[in-house]
Amino acid sequence: MTKDVPSSGIGILATGSYLPERVVTNADIVRMVPGTSEEWLERKTKIVARRFAAPGEAASDLAASAARAALDAAGLGAGDVDYLIVSTTTGDAPIPATATLVQHALGAHRAGCFDVNIACSGFVTSLALARGLVTLRPTTRALVIGTDVYSRFLDFGDRSTSVLFGDGAGAVVVAAVGDGPGFLDLDMLGGGAAHDLIAIPGGGSRRPASAETVADAGHVLHMKGRQVHDYVMDNVPGALDALLERCGHKAADVDHFVPHQANGVMLDQLVDVCGLTGAVTHRPLEHSGNTGSASVAIALDEANRSGALRSGDLVLLAGFGAGMAVSAGLLRWSEPTQRSAA
């Protein structure tokens, strides 16, 4: 099948991303995390390095830098932004929304703004929300950002989590794309019964911050890696197949696969199971690690800046992670006016 479903002509005008300056190599991780070796790290994760935010950098700072890159690439100013959506699970604070801090930093004073907290599926979920907002008012522009600073929430005594994550942000401008079809479809799947597979249990209304939550590591990331792997393999392939089928396509039609950068070994397995071996899979995790909400956005920007994405290419996006949750999107790429600055 090669027939696209009708679309509203809403897509991605431009992309941008930001990685902090500090590079943390596997050699650095070996010195920080007991029971690891460089060979073990690369074999188990395919990650060679990741970035950690500077002491004065928070999620909103990374987000603002990525947003500026996307706006510059689109030839837009902050005053042209109508909606600003930030996907993050490591926001600057519980209140206010990180999106409001990004709005202030950019000077996007007339933009409606809000956060999305659904972890690694949040950026693609935010794209679906942005598409809906632009559908309601076709002349508007939405700035969608994924940003996370997981280095602040890692237990470096736990090698199952601390070796995977890095910090970063990615952004896109969503708007009408003229004659291009843009997004063909986007969808989301929730798996709340598995909510305990990935969590930072302390600091909320159920377990507010206290000496006890600090003592029992309630403010760092906990993950049941094997069960997470099984959830992804049990749910992501079906969600992608259903999305492609609704759009009149098969996996063999996909030109580019841009997944969440969870773990390199798992991505290899996912590509095989989903029948996406004929697509180019974009995987910056080798140099940036798992950047949570930012990972799909960073991968998309790097693919765009490299010149890999061409007008008319079929691009499949997939987010999956804590919640548990899966989000997926399919679009015909529209060549941006200019590519994001490196």
- Active site residue ranges: 120, 260, 290
Q: Which amino acid is located at 145 in the chain?
A: I
Structure tokens at 45: 């994760």
Q: Which residues pair with 165 in a beta bridge?
A: 290
Q: Which residues pair with 257 in a beta bridge?
A: 281, 316
Query: What sign for the dihedral angle of Cα 320, 257, 3, 143?
Result: positive
User: Is 298:87 a contact under the CB 8 Å cutoff?
Assistant: no
Structure tokens at 260: 């969440």
H or E stretch at 99: helix 98-106
CA distance 266 to 249: 24
Q: What is the DSSP letter of 341?
A: P
* Half-sphere exposure of residue 34: CA atoms within 13 angstroms, side-chain side: 3
User: Is 166:288 a contact under the CB 8 Å cutoff?
Assistant: yes
Beta strand 256-259 with 280-281: parallel, antiparallel or unpaired? Answer: parallel
Structure tokens at 102: 């990004």
